[in-house]
Amino acid sequence: DSGVTQTPKHLITATGQRVTLRCSPRSGDLSVYWYQQSLDQGLQFLIQYYNGEERAKGNILERFSAQQFPDLHSELNLSSLELGDSALYFCASSVGGGAAATEAFFGQGTRLTVV
Amino acid sequence: AQTVTQSQPEMSVQEAETVTLSCTYDTSESDYYLFWYKQPPSRQMILVIRQEAYKQQNATENRFSVNFQKAAKSFSLKISDSQLGDAAMYFCAYSHRNTGNQFYFGTGTSLTVIP
């Protein structure tokens, strides 16, 4: 158990809908990273938050957004869903937010299926 | 842009034998980190080993070791005394020193361990 909790584990929804994925980082970790794993695109970095502030953006679509709350949990919001958004969405957390000196711990992911 | 290439989609090894997984990367940076992550059927991403580019000594973690060739931009993973529990998808990843755990992942190598 990595200590990173993602809910829900599985999600099935229809095209055009909006969903929210939740991530609770390990206790004491200030950074949260979101990754998407799909058959087409592989594993891609989406976005990072550090202590409530957006730190970096990767290949995140405009239809997607995220935030990190004062208790450090994070939510990834996916809207106007398309079939191609079906993927495994991972959250990872680490103590630091800059240099890669601190290990990142991954959650078990949320499997999103868009039908 | 950084790219990470894993040219072996699938590999197999006999239990107790040694196997080497290949990874090459492309970057114009001089200070970065390289990682090998393991993704078993449980789908959780687990850090296997990490290498800091400024360190010439190859990293080792028990049965896992790397061969880091900075000039050739090569980063292979050697698994000694393979065990059934080593069966998984293995991903090579790169991150720049200043961007923390924002990884660029390869496409993965599926490792089968034959009893």
DSSP structure string for A33-50: EEEEEETTTEEEEEEEEE
- pLDDT recorded at residue A2: 86
- pLDDT recorded at residue B101: 83
Distances (CA, A) of B84 to B14, B41, B81: 9, 13, 10
Q: What residues contact B86, with CB distance under 8 A and at least 6 apart? A: B13, B38, B79, B111, B113
User: Between β-strands A74-78 and A64-68, what pairing exists: parallel, antiparallel or unpaired?
Assistant: antiparallel
State the best of A45, A60, A88, A90 to mutate against chain B, taking most chain B CBs within 10 Å. A45
State the best of A2, A9, A106 to mutate against chain B, taking most chain B CBs within 10 Å. A106
Residue B1 has pLDDT above 80, yes or no: no
Confidence band for A99, pLDDT divided at 50, 70 and 90: low
Q: Residue B103 and residue B91: Cα distance in Å, rounded?
A: 11
Dihedral sign from CA coordinates of A79, A80, A81, A82: negative
Residue A98 has pLDDT above 70, yes or no: no
Q: Please give the sequence-ordered ranges of beta strands (E in DSSP) within chain A, or none if there are none.
A: 5-7, 10-13, 19-24, 31-38, 42-50, 53-57, 64-68, 74-78, 87-94, 105-106, 110-114
A67: helix, strand or coil: strand
Mind listing the pLDDT tens digit for each residue in A63-83?
999 999 999 999 999 999 999
When the pLDDT of each residue in chain B is averaged and rounded to a whole number, the result is 94
Distance of CA B90 to the CA centre of its chain: 7
CA dihedral angle for residue A112, residue A80, residue A105, residue B45, rounded to 10 degrees: 40
Q: What is the CA radius of gyration of chain B?
A: 14
Residue A35 has pLDDT above 90, yes or no: yes
**Count of CB atoms situated within 10 Å of the CB of B31:** 12
Q: Residue A71 and residue B28: Cα distance in Å, rounded?
A: 38
The half-sphere exposure of B83 on its side-chain side, counting CA atoms within 13 A, is: 5
Residue A49 has pLDDT above 90, yes or no: yes
Nearest CA among B74, B72, B69 for reference residue B24:
B74
The β-bridge partners of A67 are: A75
Minimal Cβ distance to B101: which of A42, A94, A107: A94
Minimal Cβ distance to B102: which of A56, A106, A109: A56
Q: Please judge whether A108 and B103 are an interchain contact, meaning their C-beta atoms are less than 8 angstroms apart.
A: no
CA angle, A81 then A86 then A92, to 5°: 105
Secondary element (H or E) of residue B93: strand B88-96
